[in-house]
Amino acid sequence: MIERFSQTDDGAGELAVVLLPTKATYAPADHVRIEVLGLTGDGALSVWSLGEHVATVPVHGPGDVDLGTLPVGTYGVELNLVVTAGRDAAGGAGADVPSARTAVEVASDVRARLRYGFVADYAPGRAVSGVAELVRRLHLTGVQLYDWAYRHADLVGGGENYTDALDRPVSLDTVRRLIAAIRAAGARSFGYAAVYGVGRAEWSRWEHAALLTPTGQPYGLADFLSLVDPAEPSWLEHFTEDLAASIHAAGLDGFHLDQYGYPKRAIRADGALVDVADSFVTLIQAVRDRLPDSHLVFNNVNDFPTWRTGSSGQDGVYIEVWEPHLTLGSLGQVVTRARAVGAGKPVVIAAYQHVYESASTPESDLATAFTMATLFSHGATHLLAGDGDRILVDPYYVRNHTMESSTAALLQRWYDFLVEHDALLMNPSVTEVTGAYAGAYNDDADVTYPHAAVSGDAATGAVWRRISRAGDALVVHLINLVGQKDTQWDAPRLPVGDPGPGTLRVRRTGPRLPRVRVADPSTTPRLVDVPVVADGDHAVAQLPAPHVWQLVVIDDGVLVNWAGV
């Protein structure tokens, strides 16, 4: 069950009321329902759309609250408690006190977004409720069922109960119950399947399709898998039929198609020269043709070969990053490339936070916050959380890390922020415009601080400033690297430094002043207005100091009548 904690990025927490959507995402015809946990009095749920109030619904104690149907979009939901006379801080005769928050998504296309989680435990009889709760809590739309299958080249050949290739117990009953629970929570289940890995027991059947090293040995993974050409015709026919059999046996919604990043080119056992990037594209298309309704995600290990597979017939652009992609700036570059070739598909980055294994939780939580700030602000999501209360610290998902309460609260707050501000972050039409707007030559929009420099790159000691365009609005992303000695995403973070309040200077479009609003997942989760004053052809707004990441939205003033100007 979900622990009822509320805290900031420094890990300090206390017991609190919890809001939990009944589903990770809702269809347009669905009634949006919020489960209220831990409430002992009366209150009201207020619904917000990018900082604009939409509705208020009364709440009387714990239970499900029906918000009715909502238009397609994403929303923040806040609980205000009705405080009786003598109990509010001002001593008045009753007040509304913000107590808890969540977010909801109403979507007409379930493939348009991929907020990804994982499961790695299929032991007989395991409880599945924690997985479903995490799906709802973090609004996960897809869950990877990692190492659920019998063997890499024989996915469902083990019967109802078996041990996987690394001797972990698997019950197909547990797999089915997990799939059902995930589906009921509003998400999809993707079965892990390596596209070219063959174990020792099956190798004699497939060694004719082997990809060979220059010395003539099959490429492999550790000592238990050898690799074949994923597009070799007989393997391709077997693999696609094995996937189809998996859907029949377990009820999967789709597949996570995995590879290991090598080789890029190789000689096949029959002497053919194989460009593995081309083979991957052939395989993805073959799976799409065989399973037209399945959701498919292919792993571009270390960005290979995103440039070829990004536009292929899959439902997301997924990249597992390793060296040399070690810095926050390199993460942003990976996302930017993926969005450029992805034809509007959602982008997911698997950036495993090994830091939790070697550093304190507060230091590691801050590392995760900077990773999420970078990915979310560039328009990608992060594969990190799953299995109810775990986060990934290793590519073998079984070696995961149990969340502490501070980590759980951090993820909930940041995923709420991600969903609530989806239109400003994840929409495929959002465009990077920093180079066209910022800096002295452009003089269109920029920020300064009294105690820190501003940089267009992720630089230590500076505020990393980027600008994007979302519809008619400018969105300024401010990631606070003040006080940090490096910009690695998988390293302990020092306490966040204080650059002081920011001064935003933006060129006016017309006689009216622009509207400027700010939000910050650590301090101000909903967009709020800040004062704006005229300064000739420019407007100036004072911004609160950012914590890890501050989002600033600039809307042009309304041009209603130019007469007499």
**CA distance linking residue 55 with residue 78, whole number of Å:** 11
Phi, psi torsion values for 356, nearest 5 degrees: -65, -20
Q: Structure pTM?
A: 0.94
Phi, psi torsion values for 401, nearest 5 degrees: -125, 130
What's the token pair of residue 484? Answer: 């940090």
Q: Identify the CA nearest to 103 among candidates 425, 446, 531.
A: 425
How far is C-alpha 279 from the chain's CA centre? 28
Residue 84: its pLDDT value, please? 52
**DSSP codes joined into one string, 325-339:** --BHHHHHHHHHHHH
- Tell me the one-letter amino acid at 295: H
CB under 8 Å to 489, separation ≥6 — which residues?
A: 326, 327, 328, 331, 351, 367, 370, 371, 374
Local structure of residue 218 (DSSP, 8 states): B
Q: Identify the CA nearest to 207 among candidates 233, 228, 224.
A: 228
Q: Contact 186/26 with Cβ under 8 angstroms?
A: yes
Q: Contact 106/27 with Cβ under 8 angstroms?
A: yes
Burial class from Cβ neighbours inside 10 Å (0-12, 13-18, 19+) for residue 149 reads: buried
Q: List pLDDT tens digits, range 152-164.
A: 999 999 999 999 9
Residue 2: its pLDDT value, please? 39
Q: How is the beta sheet containing 532-535 ordered, strand by strand?
A: 445-448, 502-507, 538-543, 532-535
Residue with tokens 């973090």: 138
Residue 517: its pLDDT value, please? 98
Residue 557: its pLDDT value, please? 62
Residue 99: its pLDDT value, please? 83
CB under 8 Å to 134, separation ≥6 — which residues?
A: 117, 140, 385, 386, 387, 388, 389
How many other C-beta atoms can be found within 10 angstroms of the C-beta atom of residue 237?
12
How many other C-beta atoms can be found within 10 angstroms of the C-beta atom of residue 497?
16
Count of helices and strands (H, E) across the chain: 12, 39
pLDDT below 70 — which residues of the chain? 1-15, 83-98, 557-565
Angle at which helix 233-250 crosses helix 172-184, to 10 degrees, equals 70
Local structure of residue 156 (DSSP, 8 states): T
Domains of the chain: 5-106 (2.60.40.1930), 431-555 (2.60.40.1180)
Residue 264: beta bridge partners? Answer: none
* Half-sphere exposure of residue 359: CA atoms within 13 angstroms, side-chain side: 18
